[in-house]
Structure 1
Amino acid sequence: MKKINKLLALILLVSAQYSCTSDSIELDPQTAISSEVIFTDPAFAEVFLNKVYSGIPHGFNRGWYMLDAATDDAENSYPWPASNTIFNTSNITTDNSPFNGLWSNAYAQIRRLNNFIQNYDKLEGSEGLTNRLKAEAHFLRGFYYSYLLRTFGGVPIITEPQSLEDENLLVSRSTKEETLNFVISELDKAAGIFENSNAASSTRGSWAAATALKGRILLYEGKFEASAAASKAVLDAEAFSLDADYQNVFLDDNTPEVIFDVQFKDPDKGHYANLFNTPKSTGPISGWGGTGPTQNLVDQYEMKATGLKPEEPGSGYDMSTPYEGRDPRFYASILYDGAQWKGVTINHRPGGDAGIATNGDFTRTGYSMKKFIQEERNHNQISTQHWIFIRLAEVYLNYAEALIEAGQDLDLATAAINKVRERADMPLISLSTQSELREKVRHERRIELAFEEHRFWDIRRWRIAGNTEVLNIYRMDMDSEGNLIGTGKAIWETRNWNDRDYLMPIPQSEIDINTNLTQNPGYE
């Protein structure tokens, strides 16, 4: 049985990636390049790493949904995506988990990187270039393991190429702490090598990307002082700046705010974010509906003049004009009834040409997503806006949260939050208690980082995913004349939650192959 398991494991590895023991490495179906060339010629080594970069999952390649539709910030208008049928119903199993593909893809990329790292000392060329490629390999290995860590907890740590003859082919899971320590060691190693390397674009790893990711993952794992130190190092370097135009951040590849992203270009590399998320309508502009922001999220956007949420006394909110005078990020992120877009008025009210509905692809919530969407491009065209993995505003908020949770330098935490609010032209907050600042930084993350796939992980690491206010999803409640009814919101659905879902299950196919793997609690 042990030999059969090993054989199955090897078949899986070979089918998922380039052979670690072959004399050649396929870069695409038409080409095979000698491994001696890959590990000596920097140009080919860069192409090899490009394949690893291309494997990183992002918000535009999940298929029919975006991850925020599995949070209280959005509802997908299609009935069949995983957000609706698996996440929001707590129907995750070891066979159907949408993150099963992450496991297999991540380890395929990690094994490629292991092969590269074992051989990269053979690289010829200038030190600045070869160091960059070496650093990128460690950054990428840390990046993939950080995704595995936040998704599954402790995972098998594999750092060497494997073959059928290896006695340790079927690797057991490391602890969560061991996995975290390995991620940090990879990012530290990458950062150290990057210091003596050539600079590259934001689409490749860098010292700032490695250090910022270190700050993020340490924050996620509750290592607050170390997280604050890492984020502070990025901020102190002053290599990036907040874009004065919030909406521009998500549409301009050259924004000064982006630390690490994936970019697209006509005609060969694109995605379908515009098509999937343009509002469904019977009018002249119609897409496939897609991501509908919830009333839960809309209610979080403060009034610009006062910095207070609409529900708070003295906010200045007027129910007769519910969408006037809000945080400028609201207008950059959300299409609402009466909004002007693509030269038309969006009619999300009942009976409108893009009206709220319970079937078809029309919005379920009375809102559509504007953030990311290229207004000047026809929705039927391939989309080319970049997906941002790490940007400076997140680093400010990571830094602030880490300081708050560590209970130190609350004035610096306040200043970091205010940097983000100042860019948005919102009233600055004042120094407050630790618990009050905790609520403020969590609120700021929700608004600033909306739809960027942070909320999904935030509600898990904060352990609030099962809270009533997260599970009760509200839609806009408006009549056909555009007047709010009652409080202006009504229940759309109440979602299900199981605490086991704080971690995703190890794919059953992996458990079947590797009998040394243990399953996460609740999925046994």
Structure 2
Amino acid sequence: MKKTTILFFLVSLTILQFSCDSDSIDLDPQGAISSDVVFTDPAFAETYLNAVYNGVPHGFSAPDGWYMLTSATDDAENSYPWPSSNTKFNTANITSENSPFNGLWNNAYFQIRRLNNFIQNYDQLEGADAVNNRLKGEAHFLRGYFYSLLLKTFSGVPIITVPQELADDLLVSRNTKEETLNFIVSEFDTAAGFFENAETKSSTRGSWDAAIAIKARVLLYEGKYAESAVASKLVLDNTSRSLDSDYQSVFVNNDATEVIFDTQFSDPDKGHWGNLFNTPKSSGAVSGWGGTGPTQNLVDQYEMQATGLLPSEAGSGYDINNPYDGRDPRFEASIIHDGTEWKGDVFFHRPGGNAGIATSGDFTRTGYSMKKMIQEDTNHNDRSTQHWIHIRLAEVYLNYAEALIESGASLGLAVDAINAVRTRSSMPDIGLGSQSELRIRVRRERRVELAFEEHRFWDIRRWGIAGTPEVLTIYRVDMDTDGNLIDDGKEIWETRDWNVEAGGLFPIPQSERDKNTNLTQNDGY
């Protein structure tokens, strides 16, 4: 009877957590349930970890609000005046007190504290080895994942691996970037070792594929190209995942075969508002809140399908009178443009159209709207249930290709990896080129294939191009009221600012430094 009562309480707690935003609650099952139950019974242990999974950030809610982080890159502009993309990121107005990533620091260490507690006690588990190994692997995977988020955002951070009590010395100093990286790699390796002898579960939980694939990503971001290539190749050679034939469906289908790790939402217990916040504002039958407006900068990166050339390149086949015809199929799958039929309505983004370009209100600022990831067959006023993908197989191919290119080795294999992704979308193969030529190709491929998935935000930082005029100058479509392009079809919408001194890092939260004077601040803040 006692065990049944505890189980009811724990399940109720989990439902509560899944129905609330993680920022609004501070519930820890360990504080409510005896440790001799949580850390001995696999069912309770799994529910304990469920609370940590619920704390994994997802892209339908940006660091401090309901907007897409891509609007803080040259790929998009948000139509609302209030998001941090417009008021902080794109105006270089981030401080240690207002940074949108302050919440990440607090949440990550809260979840790490939970995981440290679990890892310290998981040898007490009394389940079958396959179950116990999965739970142990998930704990190390999650700890590595949260530290990887901290690393790319702040660089080196304090590595804490044991539960801290008030009696402990809590004034921990920052570890170096290299120490933090090495710890993350060791966590993913430890997780992978457990997963090799564990039962398998869904993509919503850690796995061998996820541990090695995200390790490869972290190594790539930190310039460890040879090691990154080895890890990505290990996944490509051993995974049971495969690229889905329908690119557009990947982002709205929870069962997409290429998804390695994702967060799924089961309405009404768990959902988000991605549809409402990104469906175009319109005077027509279908009207959302506008939200993410792809830029002309991004649109110009979609090649012509027949030739594999950019519209700006000679011989591409581009027709300025039909600017959206014959483009890479990922363009139509990702972006609503003037004349797009969607959700049973036609959206005219031309000036004066039902969803026309504007400078105020929630109408598109750029002349485009986001289609990728948005559920066409769901009423946009209802809570959204499409998953957020943290990593998928297509990214692994591109991570592998970039790592090979940057290491200067096996360029032919890099070309093969890029072409594997292009073939899925019926795009012509690219040919072998020099390192610098292939660097341009893989970066373009990442931008198109991974559009709106938050990769561009980190890519432009790690490549050192975030502060360049090319990235800071934002273009929108230049179109007349009849839907015809004016001149070259683009005009400057805005010129953004960039904190050169800070580079690509964000400040350690001032509130944390007030509590812990041993935390040094990043440059520029």
Same fold (TM over 0.5): yes
Partner Cα separation in structure 2 for residue 81 and residue 493 of structure 1: 16
Partner Cα separation in structure 2 for residue 122 and residue 456 of structure 1: 42
Q: Is the 8 A contact 1:17 1:112 kept in 2?
A: no
- Tell me the equivalent position of 2:440: 439
- Tell me the equivalent position of 1:127: 129
- Tell me the equivalent position of 2:191: 190
1:331-361 residue CA offsets vs partner (Å, 9 max, x unmatched): 0000000111011111000000100000000
Partner Cα separation in structure 2 for residue 17 and residue 269 of structure 1: 17
Shift of 1:238: 3.5
| 1:370-449 correspondence runs (5 A) | 370-449=371-450
Partner Cα separation in structure 1 for residue 246 and residue 77 of structure 2: 27
Shift of 1:17: 5.3
| 1:65-80 correspondence runs (5 A) | 65-80=67-82
Q: Is the 8 A contact 1:90 1:501 kept in 2?
A: no
What is the TM-score normalised by the length of structure 1?
Answer: 0.94
Gaps of 5+ in 2: 1-23
Q: Is the 8 A contact 2:60 2:66 kept in 1?
A: no
- Tell me the equivalent position of 1:53: 53
Size of the aligned set, in residue pairs, is 499
Shift of 1:18: 5.9
| 1:296-315 correspondence runs (5 A) | 296-315=297-316
Partner Cα separation in structure 2 for residue 298 and residue 54 of structure 1: 34
Poorly superposed stretches of 4+, deviation over 6 Å: none
Shift of 1:35: 1.7
Partner Cα separation in structure 2 for residue 90 and residue 54 of structure 1: 31
Q: Percent identity?
A: 72
1:293-346 residue CA offsets vs partner (Å, 9 max, x unmatched): 000000000000000010000000011000000000000000000111011111
Partner Cα separation in structure 1 for residue 37 and residue 349 of structure 2: 58
Shift of 1:501: 4.2
Asked if residue 139 in structure 1 is aligned to residue 141 in structure 2, the reply is: yes
Match of 1:522 among 512, 517, 524: 524
SS at match of 2:202: coil
SS at match of 2:261: strand
SS at match of 1:502: coil
Partner Cα separation in structure 1 for residue 487 and residue 218 of structure 2: 43
Shift of 1:25: 2.2
Partner Cα separation in structure 1 for residue 378 and residue 163 of structure 2: 45
| 1:137-286 correspondence runs (5 A) | 137-166=139-168, 168-286=169-287
Match of 2:97 among 95, 98, 104: 95
Shift of 1:268: 1.3
SS at match of 2:511: helix
Match of 2:30 among 9, 25, 32: 25
SS at match of 2:136: helix
Partner Cα separation in structure 1 for residue 113 and residue 375 of structure 2: 37
Shift of 1:265: 1.3
Q: Is the 8 A contact 2:330 2:448 kept in 1?
A: yes
Match of 1:118 among 117, 120, 129: 120
SS at match of 1:489: strand
Shift of 1:34: 1.4
SS at match of 2:57: coil
What is the TM-score normalised by the length of structure 2?
Answer: 0.94
- Tell me the equivalent position of 2:41: 41
- Tell me the equivalent position of 1:7: none
Partner Cα separation in structure 2 for residue 376 and residue 129 of structure 1: 38
SS at match of 1:279: coil
Q: Which amino acid aligns with 2:42?
A: P
Partner Cα separation in structure 1 for residue 351 and residue 253 of structure 2: 35
Partner Cα separation in structure 2 for residue 374 and residue 158 of structure 1: 40
1:456-502 residue CA offsets vs partner (Å, 9 max, x unmatched): 00000000000101000000000000100011000000000112141
Partner Cα separation in structure 2 for residue 65 and residue 256 of structure 1: 27
Partner Cα separation in structure 2 for residue 521 and residue 231 of structure 1: 32
Partner Cα separation in structure 2 for residue 495 and residue 406 of structure 1: 33
Q: Is the 8 A contact 1:157 1:173 kept in 2?
A: yes
1:87-134 residue CA offsets vs partner (Å, 9 max, x unmatched): 000000000000000000000000000000000000111000011000
Shift of 1:16: 8.2
Asked if residue 455 in structure 1 is aligned to residue 460 in structure 2, the reply is: no
- Tell me the equivalent position of 1:369: 370
- Tell me the equivalent position of 2:16: none
